[in-house]
Every structure is written in C-alpha cells, then in structure tokens.
Amino acid sequence: MKKIFLILLSLLFILSCGGKSKLNNKDKNGTEKKTTKTTVKEPKMNEIDKYNVYVDSYNSLLNFDSTIESYLRVAGDKEKLNTSKEISGYFNFNPSFLDKLKKASTSDPKMEDLDKAAAKLAPALEELTGLFNEADEYYKAKDFLDDKYAKGQELHTKILVAIKNYDVAMGEYNVALRKKANEVKVMEMEKAKKEGRMITYNKMLTLQLTEDIMYEIQTQKLTAANFTTADLTKIKPLYEQFNEVQKQLRESIKDPELMKKEGYDESKPGASFNINDVKGFVDTSTKFKTSMISFIERVEKKQGVDEFKLKHNFPMENEDGSPEQLNKLRDELIQKYNQTTR
C-alpha cells in the first residue's frame, strides 16, 4: 500500500490585527462588493477563527504521517500481519483538534468545498486513530502472547482499510485547503502591499516563491539520488525571483520605522510581534537561498551525491543543495512564518 505523502503548506494564520483582512468580500453571486475606504468591512471574527481551525488541523495532522508509517513499518502493508518481529506499540495519536474540526465543518460562514472535505476527514480520522489507540494498548500489554496475534490480525485488517479511507479524505482536504489558502494569500499580499507593509508583503512573497520552487522540484520527483538530472527551465527563474525578493526582505527589516509600523519594536515590551521571530524567518530564508545556490550549481556541473553516502543511508538533509535539505528548510521556513503571525 502506498501512503499519500502530503506537501507541507505555508498555510497562513490570519490575524485580526495589522490592518483589515478581506477573507470574503463577495456577494452570494460571486460579485465583488463595492466598498469605499471608510466602509470596508472587517471580516467576521468567526470566519477568521474557522479558517485558522482548518489550518491548525492540517498542520497538526502532518505529525500523524509518522504514526501511520511507524505502524506500517513493523506490521507491514500486506493483508497478513507481519509477526516476524515483535510489535511494541506506540501508535497512539490523540487529535485534540477533532471537535473543533467537526464544529467548523458545520458552522457559518460556509466554505463549501472545505466544509465538505472536513466533514469527510473527521470520521475517517476518528476511526483510524481509534484503531491505532486500540492496537497500541494491545501490543503494549503483550496480549498477542495470549491469542497468538488473533486480535492483532483483526485490527490490522481494519487499520489497512481505515488508512485507505483516511488517505482519500486527507487528499481531498489537502486540495480544498490549498485552494482556500492560495485565495487568502493573494488577498493578504495585495492588502499588505497597498498598505505599505512591505515586511509582511516580502515575507509572504518569499514563502510563496519557496513553495513554487519546491513544487517544481517535487513535480520532477527529484531526490538526492537523481537531482543532477533536474530541468532548471522553471526552477532557475523562480530562484532568481526568490533571490531578489529575499534581498528586499533583508533590507526592509533594517528600517526601524518600517519595523515599528508593522509591530516589530524592540523598545516596546508590548509590541505586536517578537522582533526575533521575523529575524529568524529571514535567517532561515537565507539558508534556503544558499542551499538553492548549491542545488543549481551541482545540477549544472552534474555533481551528484557520493554513492557511498547513498548506499549507507547518510541523512540527505545534511547534503548541501539536496532536495531533502531544501525540503527541510522549506518546512522550517513555514514554521518560522507561523511564529511571526500568531
């Protein structure tokens, strides 16, 4: 059975501070509402909250992949349970956000595609985590010694079906949330630029271009074993855009007035955001930049990874310019971004 590995998204947590957001500025027919500078409406707080519940649920579920992989690694992905080595458990996963996810899927304002996907995901997740928790108790208590894995096989059969159902539901949720997240990002970026909040704008654009680069790398199915075969036709221009925007971001955080305007003020204990958070984001984006320089250079010079390292499973996240290193840095950048928006 092939697991669906979901791409970690730069999903934005929208705050009610730092300017007026417009998550929904269209009427029921999809026509843009006419507004003036003095009548632009702040989105309902429950709309912001609902979107953030969906984002938070998604990001929390990224850790669930390791639970699934942990189980399949020892129990196997075949119909017959693998009992060749002792299964020790540790498959429990408690989605504390599940009640919020269920509530969001039925609450106003409606987000039709996302609500539908969330309503399908919640029971699939509940079923799978319930089975994992039952299996966790079974193996930790070594009950398999009493029934010779009879219940273990029964649980395994149910778990494989539940994983398939969960993968389908999570895939649909991923698509719906990506669509909504992209809509929100475009609106927030336009608004930030219009309001002169260039740190926010450049930060978001830096992250978006990072996502675009990684999308191309992942579309080409590049890994440490084959990345020197990469087609740079799309990747290199994206990197050039990234490089320019990242430079602008580095310059913008050197402007004290601009920093204060956006809530980053070292002299005020009550500043909206921690100044070290945005600096941490910039530092991580710089690491991504230097890794991309190595990536492009190694592709152009056909400098692959040493076969010895590949054969002996060296951690490729430590290999300069490898897709694995870029992916790790992208994930870290997303985490740094979310720290600057909470």
Dihedral sign of CA atoms 260, 254, 184, 24 in order = positive
Q: Find the largest Cα–Cα distance for the chain.
A: 73
pLDDT of amino acid 266: 62
Asked which of 247-261, 262-276, 302-316 is least confident by mean pLDDT, the reply is 262-276
Residue 101, Cβ neighbours under 10 Å: how many? Answer: 23
The C-alpha atoms of residue 293 and residue 298 are separated, in whole angstroms, by 9
Percent of the chain with pLDDT over 70: 84
CA 177, CA 171: separation in Å to the nearest integer?
10
Whether residue 8 has pLDDT greater than 90: no
- Counting residues of the chain whose pLDDT is more than 90, the rounded percentage is 61
* Cα–Cα distance measured from residue 58 to residue 264, given in angstroms and rounded to the nearest whole number: 28
Task: Tell me the angle at which helices 150-194 and 45-61 cross, rounded to the nearest 10 degrees.
Answer: 130
Helices (H), 26-63: 45-61
Mean per-residue pLDDT, 267-289 = 81
Token couple for 116: 């539908």
What pLDDT sits at residue 11? 52
pTM: 0.67
* Residue 178: predicted pLDDT: 86
Distance CA 143, CA 148 (A): 8
Given a cut of 50, whether residue 325 has pLDDT beyond it is: yes
Residue 44 has pLDDT above 70, yes or no: no
Give the least confident one: 4-8, 51-55, 142-146, 208-212. 4-8
Other CB atoms within a 10 A radius of the CB of residue 14 amount to 21
Question: So what's the pLDDT on residue 183?
Answer: 86
pLDDT tens digits for range 110-149: 999 999 999 999 999 999 999 999 999 999 999 999 999 9
pLDDT, residue 65, reads 84
Confidence of residue 188 (pLDDT cuts 50, 70, 90): confident
Range 58-77 average pLDDT: 87
Q: What is the pLDDT of residue 67?
A: 87
Mean pLDDT for 53-57 is 90
Question: Coil, strand or helix: which one is 311?
Answer: helix
Q: Is the pLDDT of residue 39 over 90?
A: no
Per-residue pLDDT band for 273 (boundaries 50, 70, 90) equals: low
Sequence ranges of the domains in the chain: 41-180, 196-342
pLDDT for position 64: 87
**Is pLDDT of 22 > 80?**
no
Task: Give residue 36's pLDDT.
Answer: 36
pLDDT the model gives residue 342:
54
Average pLDDT in the 74-89 region? 89
What is the pLDDT at residue 171?
92
**Is 10:337 a contact under the CB 8 Å cutoff?**
yes
Mean pLDDT calculated for residue range 6-31: 44
Please count the other Cβ atoms lying within 10 Å of the Cβ belonging to residue 1. 11
pLDDT band at 88 (very low <50, low <70, confident <90, very high): confident
Please state which of the ranges 13-22, 130-139, 327-336 shows the lowest mean pLDDT.
Answer: 13-22
Residue-wise over 165-176: b if at least 16 C-beta within 10 A, else e?
Answer: bbbebbebbbeb
Region 63-73: what's the mean pLDDT? 86
> What's the whole-number mean pLDDT along residues 225-231?
97
Residue 57: pLDDT band (50, 70, 90) is very high
Two structure tokens written together for 51: 């979107």
pLDDT at 18: 40
